[in-house]
Structure 1
Amino acid sequence: MIFKDIKPGLIYVELQSVIKDLINTIDASEIETTDKEIATFSRNLLNELDANIASELDKLKANSEWDTFTVAFYGETNAGKSTIIETLRILLAEPQKVSSQNKFKELVTSLKIDSASFEKINQEIVELKDNKIVLEQSLNSVKDKSDEQLACLNNELTTLNKTIESKLAAFNIFQQIWHFFSKLPEDAQLVTKQKQFESTKLILEDNVAQAENEVTDNNERYDAACLKLEHMEGELEKLAPYADGAIIGDGRSDFTLDSQSYLMQGDESHFTVLDVPGIEGKEEKVGESIWSAVHKAHAVFYVTSKAAAPQTGDDKNKGTLEKIKEHLGDQTEVYSIYNKRITNPLQLQKSQLVSESELASLAELDVKMTEQLGENYQGTKSVCGLVGYLAAANCLVAGSADHKRQEKFLKDNNEQHLLDYCGFTDLKQFLVSDLIKDYKVKIIKANFNKANQVLKGASSSISALRDEKFEPLYTKLNKEIGSASEQLDFALSSLKSRLLTSVGESVNTFKSTVRKSVYSEIEDDISNDDFKYELKRVISRAQSQFDESLPEDINSHINEFAEEVNGIVNRFQKHTNELFSAYSSFETRGFDINFDLSKNIDNGVNVVGIISSIVGGVVLAISGAGIAAIALGAVGLVFSIYKSVRSMFNSSYKISQQKKSADENINNITKELQNTANTNIDNAFKDLEEKIDTIKLSLKTPIEHTALINKILSISIEKLHKTSRQLDKEL
């Protein structure tokens, strides 16, 4: 397959076709010859692989951009992505921005509310407010002085009245009559003082009224100014939707919930800038929007407000570094932007925007990003988004927070100096020239690389499935099988030892019983004929006892062995099922399945039938026809004639010869009994060993099935690698 000859937009369909062919090839050549259950299970795995790859490629196709070079500004929540983008929109005269600025300026003209008039009314309000305080203080002072003067005059009147009353109280009748016609000097003073009080009171009341009027007039002017300001602010609100900075967040998490796109003009062609939601917000709200944006982009700027490497997460929560790897792992061109926070113009007095310590920290950031993204990571650029935005903005609502901050920063600095100092002059030039150079080649390379990353991701997922699930499962099953096989071998060896011991004990019992019984008869001084008779009778009776007791002992040992074998197999099957349960799920990027291995992989043989044949077969093989009867049939009783004649003349000699003859015959018989039993055990164990080997072979079923699945996964991985390498060569 020559991918470079394929029409760009059809790469996704073509890759799906290639993957389908690969899976069909594996399906036909590797699965059809295996166990039916394993074939079904493996085919399901491959179909899951196919479905996941198809889904990922469909998403890429739906979000791909083949005509316009697209740059995504991606990063932490509240890192200042939108501020940087807004500054670039102004500097590059982005069409939407130009349109909104034109509407802003038209409204400013129609409303006739400029910054100067807004500042004038604000200044008037401040002055009136300050004047209100002065006038109220003056009013209070006038009232206090008035009250003080009136109180003083009132005290003088009171004193005169008391003086007059005191003198009148001391007059006799003639003096009182005389006073009626001639007044006291204090009476004249009282009249004068009362006139003074009334005139002074009128003057003071007029002063208070004048002060109160001044306060009232000032308050009315203040209220009128506030109403005018409120009206102006209401008018200015009409400007807000068209003012610079509308896309900039207000500090709330997830201010940007959907990716926004802006078309900008470069030196040779247009390019699109995407404002991506913050990666540290609520992922259920913004996750899909982030995914779509970064997969549409051909280059990505990771924006951070910290001169430090991104943090890793823990078992419960992904860190920024893990999110960057997940979101940007298939990008061909990734840059970092350090957005330094500056809020005070005094911070601009330093010789350069970024300090030496910050540069050292950013070097560590570059190392971490390179570790995650490899050669596709291109390094760090530094800006101050806020100050750059304030320098570039020319449509700010008078009196707004941004307008006040702009005035503060522009007081001692011009716009171009701030843009140069804050890195926007260089960033603008990089965007319009270097970044979009050879953009057509970059677009194809970026989109092909993302498609290839789907293959690599699938291959990585299958490798993880093999390495994290089936390889460890194979190893642990192998260990379980080895342990179970050793236990079966030990159980078989122990059984043989117990059977031989049991036969030996039965033979010794036979030997002891016969000797004891026949010796008892010999001690009664019986004849040789009676001796022969008794010996045969005792042997016959012991033979019956031997044939009756030995099978019971053998059967007991065999049943014990059968239970032991059954226990070994059951434990193996239990441990196998536990392993299957532990490994019956898998989740990784692009591959998430749950499977019940116990339903797909046989975990061993059902040993009930084999155990039953062991119990009956071994007992029958060892003692089925009567070992004692076989042995006695093979051994005839032997007596010496010479010694028989001599014994007729010497009783003691006869007894000793009879015992000797009994011992010889008993020894011959027990030897034959032992040999026959041992031979029967050896013969029985040949069949028994075969049955145990059958069980051991059956125990290998799960590991053989697991090995086959591993083989199929390995073939899938190699074929995906081959296709991916071919695509790599053509990028």
Structure 2
Amino acid sequence: MKKAPAELYKTVINEVTYLIDSLGEPTEEKEILEQQNEAKKKLNGVHKELQTSLEHLAKNAEWDVFTIAFYGETNAGKSTLIETLRILLSEPSKTEERKMFYSSSQAIDQSETILRQFEEDLNQVNISFEKNIVQINEKLETAVSQKTKLIAENKLEHWKVDVLGALIFEKRRSSFCYFIKSFFNRMFEQKEMIKAKERIVLLETETSITNQEIDKIQRELDETNSEWHKKIEMFSPEISKLEEILSNQNDEILKYTDGKIVGDGRSDYTQTVGQYTFRYENQNFVILDLPGIEGREEIVIDEINNAVEKAHAVFYISAKPAPPQNGDEKTEGTIDKIKHHLSQHTEVYFVHNKRIKNPKQLNKTLIGEDDKVALKEVDDVLNKVLSDQYEGHKVLSAYPALLSVGNFWKDKLCKNQEKFIEQLESADNILEDSGVKDFSDWLRTSLVDESKSKIIRSNYRKISFAIGHTQGNISEIQKQFNNLEKKFTLNEKYTNRKLDAESEMLIQNLNNEEIKVIGKFKNRLRKQMYKEIEKEIDKDVFKVTFEKQINIAIDETKHLLEEGMKGVSKEFEKEIKEIVNKEERYTAELLQSFDDSAKFDFEFEPILNIKNSGSIARTISSLGFGVWGIIISSGPLITALAVVSMIISVGKNILGFFNHEYRASQQKKATDENIEKMAIQLSESIRENIKKAHDPLMEGIEKVKGNLSFKIKYVNNMNQVFQEAERKLKLLSWEIEQEGMGKPNGNN
């Protein structure tokens, strides 16, 4: 008996919670407790990530209706295929939409018939009135032409009168005879003038009559135009009303055309998940139309993830018969997205939706041999990525299929539909050759067969996958801890060798410094005493001078010894610090490489909380100054220097009996003997103190080594903790998946 969804999710969370609580029994050992707490902290991060995944599944997973997600590249034709399936499989909302389309289409046909009748009646009115207006305009043009002619003749006669008048005036002046004739109108010009004036009167009368006729014709034209406009105004409201109705009906029918969910070529056209419910022979199933995975994915990623979690089967749609591509360092590849999104599913299919925009491209085989070879490569790649979940590929062309069954209205799709049907003879031929009809039949029968068991198997696998994904993350952490432990171990060996070498070098340098200081002590004292002896001093002066020079030499030696030993100790401290700093830097690099290589989906910092270098620095500081303090301590060293002054006794009784040269040689001999004795005592005292510094030095070195070895113990313990966590989660994942498949898991 399968568990209810809520009970199943609760069981998984309880198991992981128990896993965290069982990391180890409480202990009073501080370091072990710290490591346990650190491991729990990280596993709490894992637990949080798993709990979030299961909460998403609980929210999004579908347990009642078999759900198919159409997933794939932007502009691959997912929505086109889904729209065609909605029509072929009579999806309820699409069926209702198409009924509304037919109803709107009939209403438009009726309105267009009425409008055409009105337009025909108006056209007849226009023809009749236009004929009358043409006739009236012809009469008007004739009258106007006649008037123009009369006006021109009138102007000509007036010109004649003016010319004849001038000629008559000139003749009167030129001859008395003409002057007399003019009184009786006997001159030729006078006779012509009389005729012209009579013609002017006649022309003016005819012009007046013509003007009256023009006015009459114009009134007739105005009356005809007015009557025409009245007739038009009678039709206009009805036509405008019908045009408005048609415009509204055109807007209305666009709501019910097919293809509205289909993209227009723009990237990210689909930004939300479309959900469509189907029913076939008492079998319900749902198709989800997902946004594309190769656009601005950041704005749709939540929609994609939620839909993928809800689906029980996935169709990966691609316009190319080619394997998905890998990404690079900057960009996640399609193959990576598929692996991330689809690895949890039980059924995944590759659907090659061939782009066909021209009827000549459509044929019964759809693809050639080259495409078949490419699809074989697709199968190989997706088999490697998805393993048993991958079910193979399908080939179809959704766009011609949509054109064959769709209802469109005065748009590009409508024109393309007409073109395809015209060239391929019938819509049925187009649908058959597109491959979508066979795909539709397979989907509603074979794919959704035994959907209840498929739903359970799919959802159980998602839960198992979530656990397995978490287990994989823990496995990666464990591997990193293992590698880190190896690197730390090698680093510790190298560092310890360097520390041992530096401690040996310190003792050698201290001894060398002792030799150098003693040599300077002897040389200075000898040089100063020889200088005084050359002054031919007596024994009393010699003794006083020797004691004085000894005191000066002791003070200088004390200062040189203090500076020299301090310098050696400082150099040693510097070298030790440099070794440890290198080790700390190297450790930081190792930890950083661990951090960089361990990238997981859950939220926690995989940086180890290893003790900082403060304790190491204090150990080094106390080590260096401790050694210097032992060697430069005032007690034994100063005592050794002070007793030197008591050594001077040689030659007290014999110096006065000899001449200057002999006395000088004896004084030099006494000086040399005393200097050597003092040098031996001083050297023994310094070396004794250097020996006393060896044990504290070794203790300090061991403290430094102990601080360094802590990292290895820490990483080793963390390694063991995560190995156990990985084992338990892996077992839990397997048990969940076996239960989903209806198989005994061995614990029943």
TM range (shorter): 0.7 to 0.9
1:553 aligns with 2:564: yes
* Contact residue 334 and residue 376 of structure 1 kept, 8 A: yes
2:677 and 2:541 mapped to 1: Cα distance? 21
Map 1:97-176 to 2 at 5 A. 97-102=94-99, 107=103, 113=107, 115=109, 117=110, 152-166=145-159, 170=164, 173=185
2:489 and 2:19 mapped to 1: Cα distance? 31
Q: Kindly provide the CA deviation profile for residues 5-51 of structure 1, in whole angstroms up to 9, marking residues without a partner as x.
A: 75666433332232223223324499977444433322111111112
The percent identity for this pair of structures is 29
1:95 aligns with 2:89: no
Measure how far apart 1:428 and its partner are. 0.8
Match of 1:453 in 2: 465
Which secondary structure does the structure 2 equivalent of 1:335 belong to?
Answer: strand
CA distance 1:653–1:588, shift in 2 (3 Å): closer
Q: Kindly provide the CA deviation profile for residues 111-143 of structure 1, in whole angstroms up to 9, marking residues without a partner as x.
A: 95265x467578889999999999999999999
Match 1:708 to one of 714, 717, 728: 717
1:691 aligns with 2:700: yes
Match 2:728 to one of 702, 719, 731: 719
Letter in 2 for 1:605: S
* Contact residue 258 and residue 289 of structure 1 kept, 8 A: yes
Letter in 1 for 2:341: H
| Number of residue equivalences | 716
Match of 1:592 in 2: 603
Match of 1:338 in 2: 352
CA distance 1:324–1:182, shift in 2 (3 Å): closer
* Contact residue 404 and residue 428 of structure 2 kept, 8 A: yes
2:549 and 2:490 mapped to 1: Cα distance? 56
Measure how far apart 1:352 and its partner are. 4.3
Match of 1:54 in 2: 51
Measure how far apart 1:378 and its partner are. 3.3
* Contact residue 260 and residue 275 of structure 1 kept, 8 A: yes
2:121 and 2:361 mapped to 1: Cα distance? 35
1:612 aligns with 2:632: no
Farther off after superposition, 82-91 or 584-593: 584-593
Match 2:309 to one of 277, 295, 306: 295
* Contact residue 550 and residue 623 of structure 1 kept, 8 A: no
CA distance 1:726–1:323, shift in 2 (3 Å): same
Q: Kindly provide the CA deviation profile for residues 254-303 of structure 1, in whole angstroms up to 9, marking residues without a partner as x.
A: 55554343332456833222222344566565433322211111111123
* Contact residue 317 and residue 352 of structure 2 kept, 8 A: yes
Match 2:15 to one of 15, 18, 31: 18
Match of 2:244 in 1: 230
Measure how far apart 1:458 and its partner are. 1.4
Measure how far apart 1:65 and its partner are. 2.3
Which secondary structure does the structure 1 equivalent of 2:604 belong to?
Answer: strand
Farther off after superposition, 54-63 or 162-171: 162-171
Match of 1:443 in 2: 455
Alpha-carbon RMSD: 5.5
Letter in 1 for 2:441: Q
CA distance 1:6–1:529, shift in 2 (3 Å): same
* Contact residue 63 and residue 456 of structure 2 kept, 8 A: yes
Match 1:425 to one of 424, 433, 437: 437
* Contact residue 78 and residue 251 of structure 1 kept, 8 A: yes
1:511 aligns with 2:508: no
Which secondary structure does the structure 2 equivalent of 1:66 belong to?
Answer: coil
Match of 2:421 in 1: 410
Q: Kindly provide the CA deviation profile for residues 557-612 of structure 1, in whole angstroms up to 9, marking residues without a partner as x.
A: 334544554566567667767876897799855312347756x6444525336633
1:60 and 1:548 mapped to 2: Cα distance? 80
* Contact residue 261 and residue 275 of structure 1 kept, 8 A: yes
Farther off after superposition, 714-723 or 654-663: 654-663
* Contact residue 345 and residue 461 of structure 2 kept, 8 A: yes
- Structure 1: stretches of 5+ with no match in the other structure: none
1:326 aligns with 2:320: no
2:545 and 2:348 mapped to 1: Cα distance? 108
Measure how far apart 1:650 and its partner are. 11
Match of 1:390 in 2: 403
Measure how far apart 1:639 and its partner are. 12
Letter in 1 for 2:107: I
CA distance 1:573–1:332, shift in 2 (3 Å): same
Letter in 2 for 1:156: K
2:735 and 2:28 mapped to 1: Cα distance? 26
CA distance 1:459–1:217, shift in 2 (3 Å): farther
* Contact residue 150 and residue 207 of structure 2 kept, 8 A: yes
Q: Kindly provide the CA deviation profile for residues 452-497 of structure 1, in whole angstroms up to 9, marking residues without a partner as x.
A: 22123213333444567x6786677678767765665565455334
Q: Kindly provide the CA deviation profile for residues 339-377 of structure 1, in whole angstroms up to 9, marking residues without a partner as x.
A: 3444454544x5543466665665665565455434433
Which secondary structure does the structure 2 equivalent of 1:607 belong to?
Answer: helix
CA distance 1:691–1:223, shift in 2 (3 Å): same
CA distance 1:88–1:165, shift in 2 (3 Å): same
Which secondary structure does the structure 2 equivalent of 1:687 belong to?
Answer: helix
- Structure 2: stretches of 5+ with no match in the other structure: 166-181, 742-748
CA distance 1:447–1:509, shift in 2 (3 Å): same
2:695 and 2:47 mapped to 1: Cα distance? 51
Measure how far apart 1:509 and its partner are. 3.2
Measure how far apart 1:218 and its partner are. 8.2
CA distance 1:368–1:211, shift in 2 (3 Å): farther
Measure how far apart 1:88 and its partner are. 1.3
2:298 and 2:659 mapped to 1: Cα distance? 116
Match of 1:80 in 2: 77
CA distance 1:527–1:275, shift in 2 (3 Å): closer
Measure how far apart 1:431 and its partner are. 0.5
Farther off after superposition, 294-303 or 715-724: 715-724
* Contact residue 157 and residue 196 of structure 2 kept, 8 A: no
State TM-score, norm by structure 2: 0.75
Measure how far apart 1:334 and its partner are. 1.7
Which secondary structure does the structure 1 equivalent of 2:285 belong to?
Answer: strand
Match of 2:366 in 1: 353
2:705 and 2:139 mapped to 1: Cα distance? 120
CA distance 1:386–1:631, shift in 2 (3 Å): same
Which secondary structure does the structure 2 equivalent of 1:303 belong to?
Answer: strand
2:3 and 2:298 mapped to 1: Cα distance? 37
Which structure is larger by alpha-carbon Rg, 1 or 2? 2
CA distance 1:149–1:352, shift in 2 (3 Å): farther
2:50 and 2:650 mapped to 1: Cα distance? 96
Letter in 2 for 1:611: S
2:552 and 2:199 mapped to 1: Cα distance? 175
State TM-score, norm by structure 1: 0.76
1:680 and 1:260 mapped to 2: Cα distance? 88
Measure how far apart 1:439 and its partner are. 3.1
Match of 2:36 in 1: 39
1:42 and 1:132 mapped to 2: Cα distance? 96
Letter in 2 for 1:592: E
Letter in 1 for 2:695: K
* Contact residue 143 and residue 210 of structure 2 kept, 8 A: no
